[in-house]
Chain A
């Protein structure tokens, strides 16, 4: 319950404060969102599986964001930024889908 409240509080703070994101960081925002979604759904699944671990969660979120940002950054430097972004989105997207499917099986037994 507390973690869900923390998520919502963070969301509201972001929406209300509306901090200006520097232009150079803007290409990384969508990737960060996808990586964060992946970490959240992975965590929910782990909770339902009964194997949640706080350290693993924090590290998986941080490493997801860092690696995704790194891939996009290197891609931008090599001139294949959009292709590599697509790769990141595809891989994380498949993971999100599978995790959500697993959560659905846990919750609805269907």
Chain B
């Protein structure tokens, strides 16, 4: 193509695409037809020769085998997947059943302990022990109290990531609220159903807040059992209330404090005996 003719198609550089779109048929057919025409042979197509039949047989075979092989691979995979899902669900059910059994046994143990103590050491000691058990979180507790719901600042698609991060509830926020509740006289606290004990940690792991090593979904519901009026007045007047207010003023974090007539908390499931020694024989009670 000489320069200056000006006839060069604008898309000549896209020869591959032109080739594909304008002459998709195998050029071999056209070439063979031309050769036949040149040699003066018959241009009638011969689609039924043995060669063609055999090739089409092979092509059909390829289709059939592929349908079998690739289809089977897919069903194998989905069967394995269904099997795994079934296993996961079965184990989850078992874990839930076991957790229910654990808390059942724990309350049985607590009852038996109380019974033994009452028989051997008198009602006073039994009272002290049951107080201690509810303080450490070994038994389920019930009573009036305070419910504080804390949630991330509202955001939508247009909120930029930095602002979204600022509006997130941090483990530190929950720690401060919980400590303020203890200071206000709470007798038992749980966060999203995780009972806090003297050995519980509220911490961050990646994006999630962990309590008792369980990741919690938002919103975070902190429930405290105690004298509701005293809890509320002490909490809102003290550090906790001021902190929540600062959070909502500065970062838009939503917080909501309610008193509740009746709160029921499960026992902590992660408690275990770390230190125990048999009473020396013949020791006085």
Which residues does A use to contact B, with CB under 8 Å?
1-4, 6-16, 18-19, 21, 26, 29-30, 32-33, 36, 39-40, 42-43, 45-47, 49-61, 91, 94-95, 97-99, 102
Which residues does B use to contact A, with CB under 8 Å?
20-21, 24-26, 28-33, 36, 43, 45-49, 51-70, 73
- Contact status of A2 and B48, CB under 8 A, knowing A7-B59, A39-B59, A52-B29: yes
- Contact status of A6 and B60, CB under 8 A, knowing A42-B25, A51-B45: yes
- Contact status of A3 and B20, CB under 8 A, knowing A14-B68, A33-B66, A42-B26: no
Q: How far is the CA of A12 from the CA of B30 in the complex (A)?
A: 33
Cβ A9 vs Cβ B68 within 8 A = no
Q: A3 touches which one: B31, B48, B61 (CB < 8 A)? A: B48
Residues on A with C-beta less than 8 A from B51 are: 54-55, 58
Residues on B with C-beta less than 8 A from A56 are: 26, 28-29, 31-32
Cβ B60 vs Cβ A7 within 8 A = yes
Cβ A9 vs Cβ B57 within 8 A = yes
Say whether chain B's binding surface is mostly helix, strand, loop, or mixed.
helix
Q: B28 touches which one: A13, A47, A60 (CB < 8 A)? A: A60
How many CB-defined contacts (below 8 Å) exist between A and B?
149
Q: B24 touches which one: A36, A39, A54, A102 (CB < 8 A)? A: A102
Q: B61 touches which one: A10, A40, A53, A55 (CB < 8 A)? A: A10
Residues on B with C-beta less than 8 A from A2 are: 48, 53
Cβ B20 vs Cβ A21 within 8 A = no
- Contact status of A98 and B63, CB under 8 A, knowing A30-B70, A42-B29, A51-B30: no
- Contact status of A61 and B55, CB under 8 A, knowing A54-B47, A56-B28: yes
Residues on A with C-beta less than 8 A from B65 are: 14, 18-19, 21, 29
Q: B56 touches which one: A7, A21, A50 (CB < 8 A)? A: A7
- Contact status of A95 and B61, CB under 8 A, knowing A3-B53, A30-B66: no
Cβ A53 vs Cβ B63 within 8 A = no
Residues on B with C-beta less than 8 A from A50 are: 33, 43, 45
Q: How far is the CA of A3 from the CA of B56 in the complex (A)?
A: 6
Q: A60 touches which one: B26, B47, B60, B61 (CB < 8 A)? A: B26
Which 4 A-B residue pairings sit nearest by Cβ, starting from the closest?
Answer: A14-B64, A10-B60, A98-B24, A52-B45
Extra contacts, 13 of them, besides A14-B68, A55-B51 (Cβ < 8 A), are A2-B53, A3-B53, A6-B53, A10-B63, A14-B66, A30-B70, A33-B66, A45-B25, A46-B45, A52-B46, A54-B49, A56-B26, A58-B52
